[in-house]
Amino acid sequence: MKQEFIYLDHSATTKVDDEVMDTYIKANDNFWGNASSLHNFGAIAETVLLKANRQILDLLNANNHQVIFTGGATESNNLAIKGLAQANPNGHIITTKIEHPSVYEVCLELDKAGIRVSYLDVTKSHAEIILELESLVTKDTFLVSCMHVNSEMGMVLPIMEMGQVLARYPRVKFHVDAVQSVGKLPLDIDTMQIDLLSASAHKIHGIKGIGCLIVRNGVNLVPQIAGGGQMGGIRSGTVNVAGAASFAKAMRLVIEGQTKCFSRIKELYDYLLKQMAGIDGVQVNSIFTAQSPYIVNFCVDGVRGETMVHALAEHEVYISAKSACSSKSSKASYVMLALGFDERTATESLRVSFAHNTTRDEIEKFIEVLKQEVQRLR
């Protein structure tokens, strides 16, 4: 069936790729045994699981890590941070104020519980961020947790340089939320010296309900779910073998096409910004020195973000206000406030996000409808 609507909210979720769905269905049809069972049918399912594990590690060049399959990146982030924090109850965490709620709110919670939390000022240059990071590390620091690409703004943080600094402090573990960078930007776990990395399948054309936390061997996490001791005792619960197999397939497809896709998306990004510059009242907010072309944050002067989202939806053009996890809140974006934007801009902010299958025709249709609604609402 031909898709008639325009979907530009791929940072919230993506359509499942046909090949990925085929892998999921075949795995459920043929390898539906419990991977923890002792019998041969269970062992076959375990083999499929181990193959998915190995493929993901190879794709991200993680030679000294293991994959913990989870229910999604929110669980992965919670497991990484809480799993380390419970082993360091009087320690120190370094993060940023632009993190996804599954990192930011966890750190706020831990701060109240007695763990000291420091926040990097990411409004500075990358060189200044690295200098500040070095100055914040203390003898009590056990974790630095930050995202690679901000999901609202598309800002890219200097993960490579941060990893190089933190490698000099073996006690400090480096956790990266890579939800918005897997399959879009170069990601090499060993070279970037990442200890823990969170990823989600449904952001890369996989199914919902499956994610992973990639953990360096020797990093000890306190389990957050008690039960049967699956996933090396770190994450109990019957493992979603079909989900894991399809996740590995989704990751392979996006990474194999990453370079070609990036060039095309960058052209769309540049085209969209040029068109927006000609619309009176539209302000583009996501023009950072290091910027992912997959995300464009903008606002319309005098129009609340949610109002514009609903107006565009009447034309079957779908974008978002803020990130998906906070888009239904009427409050100003805490991410934008942390980046120095004023309250009005942070309330009116909107996000367009691309995927590998976004077309020039879709962008042109979006611009046409946006111009119409900007004129009407202003």
- pLDDT, tens digit, 9 for 90 and up, residues 276-300: 999 999 999 998 999 999 999 999 9
pLDDT of residue 330: 64
Final residue in a domain of this structure, among 256, 282, 311: 256
Distance (Å, whole) CA 141 – CA 68: 24
Average pLDDT value for residue range 11-33: 97
Measured distance CA(201)–CA(308) in Å, rounded: 29
Residue 1 has pLDDT above 50, yes or no: no
Q: Mean per-residue pLDDT for 176-180?
A: 98
pLDDT value of residue 136: 98
- Are 373 and 252 in a shared domain? no
pLDDT of residue 322: 67
Among residues of the chain, what percentage have pLDDT more than 70?
97
pLDDT at 327: 47
Q: What is the pLDDT of residues 324-369, one digit of tens each?
A: 454 455 689 999 999 999 999 999 999 999 999 999 999 999 999 9
Residues 56-80: what's their mean pLDDT?
98
CATH of the domain at 357: 3.90.1150.10
pLDDT (tens digit, 9 = 90+) per residue, 111-121?
Answer: 999 999 999 99
Condensed to tens digits (0 to 9), the pLDDT of residues 301-332 reads 999 999 999 999 999 999 999 654 544 556 89
**Same domain membership, residue 228 and residue 355:** no
Total number of domains constituting the chain: 2
Report the CATH number that the domain containing residue 143 is assigned in CATH: 3.40.640.10
pLDDT at 4: 84
* Distance in angstroms (rounded) separating the CA atoms of residues 372 and 349: 18
Q: Does residue 3 carry a pLDDT above 70?
A: no
Domain that holds residue 275: 6-14+258-377
Residue 1 lies in a domain: no
Residue 174 lies in a domain: yes
- Same domain? For 233 and 116 the reply is yes
58 and 119 together in one domain: yes
Which is nearest to 127 in space by CA: 167, 162, 178? 162
Nearest to 77 by CA among 199, 193, 222: 199
pLDDT (0 to 100) of residue 2: 55
Say if residues 64 and 216 touch (Cβ distance below 8 Å).
yes
Are 178 and 216 in the same domain?
yes
Active site residues: 325
Q: Are residues 317 and 212 in the same domain?
A: no
Q: What is the pLDDT of residues 191-226, one digit of tens each?
A: 999 999 999 999 999 999 999 999 999 999 999 999
3-state DSSP of the chain = CCCCCEECECCCCCCCCHHHHHHHHHHHHHCCCCCCCCCHHHHHHHHHHHHHHHHHHHHCCCCCEEEEEECCHHHHHHHHHHHHHCCCCCCEEEEECCCCHHHHHHHHHHHHCCCEEEEECCCCCHHHHHHHHHHHCCCCEEEEEEECECCCCCEECCHHHHHHHHCCCCCCEEEEECCCCCCCCCCCHHHHCCCEEEEEHHHCCCCCCCEEEEEECCCCCCCCCCCCCCCCCCCCCCCCHHHHHHHHHHHHHHHHCHHHHHHHHHHHHHHHHHHHCCCCCEEECCCCCCECCCEEEEEECCECHHHHHHHHHCCCEECECCCCCCCCCCCCCHHHHHCCCCHHHHHHEEEEECCCCCCHHHHHHHHHHHHHHHHHHC
My answer on whether 271 and 300 are in the same domain is: yes
Tell me which residue of 88, 92, 197, 98 sits closest to 136, measured CA to CA.
92
